[in-house]
Structure 1
């Protein structure tokens, strides 16, 4: 962290921000007298360029290559790429293959959200951190009884905070053990974490047996047991912060502009045809949708697709206005914009950082509603998923999960030591740091409940003798495809154009470019920037000892992951070659 005083404002920067992957920086100006952030800039200083080197590749390699975009959510990229390819090739996998993919993705959500919530973002609320930044709050926490102590076992809020202390806290260590279970669950379905080895267009190579799903289920039930403690514990902790610090709902708060692309396809309806995408998209087990100011604007994946715009704004790229249009009409005949991913050209232009001009390698994805380019955020993924699913009221997952129009009801069956338990995530008053984190806990329970249904369906297929998991296909000479799903952190799309049997254009858009985007061509700040700007400062430290905990809680509530935001650039460098003279071990040349 660095800080300088200028024009009665305190300039402070955190670069890189810790406990996340990638070189994310946050540059702020703070009005210390008002204890409020007045300006914020989100930066990233690395570039990798998958959209450039995907050109000319065999389309069948797309999921193996794009999986390597990230070492955290690589399977989400592989899955989305496979969906993309299924559409381009016109192939529909067997039901069992899709249930297996759903089980793998559910395990990934459980794994990643668990380890981030308890072992990374949880540290922001642990006893050691609160002692350093808000000792008055810790004193109150010591005196405050936890309302759900009987469910999670911690008598006071301070006891919960101590359990989250890194490396030594009881719940911190328990979460690490649970993360191992969920990683094993993933590997049972997709072979390897985090880059799947059994995932292909047309289905999966996993050998489906009763034993396979039983092994998954035994681990899943241990996770179900864990969630029955986890949800009430986090409710107690997050509710306490609202009570202890009146006005804390303003930390990380921004206008409700949430995007969810939907996830966990229903194989009974999903045929991957673009012409039917509106219908099978609404049958997803997590409902796609765009929520603006609390209203569900659309849950139609065709509308969502056509509204995507990639603006350059304050990023280090040249415009592509004069470059080739790859797709002018979608398969339904709708016009496709030049700034849509199907038509994007990535033309890097490295330069010195200038907050008045260009200052990051992250572009500015926006969603165009016909009049405005909206800076949607994912809220770290779960809050957008739950909000969209709740409003749509379309989900009923085998009695395990049900959306009501204003909430999501999650039923977890009896487990080893705990009875059947029902949780209800209700649409909150705000999209802020606390509610993003709370939603992450509830969505873990959502995935556990959904996975129980997926196991039931997969076992029914095997017992009925329908053990086929893959459908053959042919790669067309020319075609287009798009895949939509949710990476752990939110919206994920892959768009591909095939010409002469090779990839002519390919653009993956994960959640990080949406959340970490910079000021766009209209001067609109990106979600990180917008959420940090105007955030009040509740930290009790003086400027000399300032930790910036309220700012860090805001940024980390989005679950940042910068590898998905930016990629490698070689520029005009030189290739160095070193020639080695072969020699034998006896010393002769």
Structure 2
């Protein structure tokens, strides 16, 4: 069998004895991401890292002049993986701009669709893509000593997941042959069907609009959803303890492994799952309805929750350039000088951003990526927030804020409790995600993903119950009409699967004058900014120890790959394409003349 992880694409040694190694493109993600490193093999440490992306695609440019009502259909195509997250966020943004509040049932349906997407995407990424990094085949090629120990180590929760040893868990993750790997593929079908029941089509919704949804809500629709959801709930009762056993084992087998992918705890979450009893999408009330979300928005700095206000979060966003291939917009028009509450809006805020592409040769000491560098300004510093792959940054502020308590899930101020009801084969099960003592590292990003799968399932149970109450009461309206104003601004905040997602729109003369979507990947994959601050991928990789047992000539970079993939990279959201006015490739002398001139 051939190796399942390629080595570096280039190797050279500099004057300091550091070995240059690059992985471009990173595998098992949507492409265009390159990781370039310098490694000290004597000290077993990654000394330097640069994150690059070589494709430019400009939604912020070609959205100009479009009808605002088309925004969610167009921006959904930013990505073929999380397109529904973009459509949802765009509809939130439009709801604000149009001043429309969807009927409660419409919002419960949106929540059910988004919950299904989290379950689908996290499941297939965690079990079928990230899981490969920890499977028997992979570990046998990078750390045979660890596999030998795994085969001798009993799994503490074997009674819950049915695998006797850690080695058995690793074998179950082998691609295409592992039992758990194949089961996870089947589960992904259920969750995709759940999504389509609510939003018509995956991954570009056909029934999602500003003002609500076009889904016809019936008791049968909810029954079909809940039937699949309960199968997923039963699956999660096995998955959470299995991953806890696997991830805890790596800490025990490799002392110091908590330093792999470790960076300063700088986490951002824009919140998810609206509460329609509170949310009216008005900017003036955004702080209130943001805090009512079932995933609490927040910024965590060094383990402390510094805000849960979507107004503060919005006003703090800054788009820096630094090492990205763009010219600045300091002398161009400011679209929004004050927000609807009268707060000043910075020139580097997305409402005021201009996209000025400047292609050039890659230079690791200067410009080397098409990804811009979003930062969050706390009044003193431009913080390089990351999303923790999504779930880590969602669970952390939700836990600290203590604002969620719906029975199925509860935030305690220091943890998140998840209560899953009785299913066909198992009775009620409760899990508790606790703020990790090891901080924000590779293992904890992956662990949080598993717990958030269970969290999303538990929330979906609540949303389905709420939707059924509306249907049985005869409140089956799912869409509210609206008018597009001549001038307006809007912003939408939610969580894409991989983390923070915001859309910012300016309307003039009834058309889009400025539109900027900011998904999680620009926050995670960005290069060094104008202050020289490295992006989160770069920061998490450089300085981390190397535990791989292979020598430099056979080095595969497994710990580097685990760190990058723990963020759940998805580069289409980071960079976008634009052809300007177009280019004439060939001009024919006559309409009937063939291309060859014959």
TM score, norm. by length of structure 2 = 0.96
Q: Are residues 1:280 and 2:280 paired?
A: no
In the other structure, the counterpart of 2:121 is 112
In the other structure, the counterpart of 1:421 is 429
Q: Distance in 2 between matches of 1:79 and 1:54?
A: 17
In the other structure, the counterpart of 1:586 is none
* Match for residue 462 of structure 1 among 442, 458, 471: 471
* Match for residue 232 of structure 1 among 237, 241, 246: 241
Runs of 4+ in structure 1 over 6 Å off: 577-580
> What secondary structure sits across from 1:521 in the alignment?
coil
Q: Are residues 1:484 and 2:486 paired?
A: no
Does structure 1 retain, via aligned residues, the 8 Å contact 2:126–2:450? Answer: yes
Q: Are residues 1:97 and 2:106 paired?
A: yes
* Match for residue 433 of structure 1 among 413, 426, 442: 442
Question: 1:44-123, aligned counterparts within 5 Å?
Answer: 44-123=53-132
> What secondary structure sits across from 1:120 in the alignment?
helix
Q: Are residues 1:401 and 2:409 paired?
A: yes
Per the TM alignment, residue 449 of structure 1 is displaced from its structure 2 partner at its CA by 0.3
* Match for residue 559 of structure 2 among 512, 537, 550: 550
* Match for residue 363 of structure 2 among 354, 357, 377: 354
Q: Distance in 1 between matches of 2:243 and 2:394?
A: 19
Q: Distance in 2 between matches of 1:266 and 1:543?
A: 53
Q: CA 1:382 to 1:39, structure 2 compared with 1: closer, same or farther past 3 Å?
A: same
Q: Are residues 1:310 and 2:319 paired?
A: yes
Q: Distance in 2 between matches of 1:90 and 1:113?
A: 33
1:137-172: CA deviations, max 9, x gaps?
000000000000000000000000000000110000
Per the TM alignment, residue 574 of structure 1 is displaced from its structure 2 partner at its CA by 1.8
Q: Distance in 1 between matches of 2:578 and 2:470?
A: 47
* Match for residue 209 of structure 1 among 218, 221, 224: 218
TM score, norm. by length of structure 1 = 0.98
Q: Distance in 2 between matches of 1:574 and 1:238?
A: 52
Q: Are residues 1:254 and 2:263 paired?
A: yes
Q: Distance in 2 between matches of 1:3 and 1:452?
A: 51
Does structure 1 retain, via aligned residues, the 8 Å contact 2:62–2:578? Answer: no
In the other structure, the counterpart of 2:516 is 507
Per the TM alignment, residue 3 of structure 1 is displaced from its structure 2 partner at its CA by 1.4
> What secondary structure sits across from 1:246 in the alignment?
coil
Does structure 1 retain, via aligned residues, the 8 Å contact 2:506–2:514? Answer: yes
Q: Distance in 2 between matches of 1:171 and 1:196?
A: 30
Q: Which runs of 5+ in 1 are unaligned?
A: 584-589
Per the TM alignment, residue 4 of structure 1 is displaced from its structure 2 partner at its CA by 1.2
The number of residues matched between the two structures is 582
1:352-379: CA deviations, max 9, x gaps?
0001110000000000000100000001
Q: Are residues 1:171 and 2:180 paired?
A: yes
Q: Distance in 1 between matches of 2:201 and 2:80?
A: 12
Q: CA 1:358 to 1:571, structure 2 compared with 1: closer, same or farther past 3 Å?
A: farther
Q: Distance in 1 between matches of 2:163 and 2:574?
A: 39
> What secondary structure sits across from 1:538 in the alignment?
coil
Does structure 1 retain, via aligned residues, the 8 Å contact 2:61–2:578? Answer: no
* Match for residue 205 of structure 2 among 196, 214, 219: 196
> What secondary structure sits across from 2:186 in the alignment?
helix
Per the TM alignment, residue 580 of structure 1 is displaced from its structure 2 partner at its CA by 7.1
Q: Distance in 2 between matches of 1:403 and 1:471?
A: 33
Q: Distance in 1 between matches of 2:404 and 2:295?
A: 7
* Match for residue 5 of structure 1 among 3, 8, 13: 13
Q: Distance in 2 between matches of 1:582 and 1:523?
A: 55
1:399-421: CA deviations, max 9, x gaps?
10000000000000000101100
Per the TM alignment, residue 6 of structure 1 is displaced from its structure 2 partner at its CA by 1.3
> What secondary structure sits across from 2:100 in the alignment?
coil
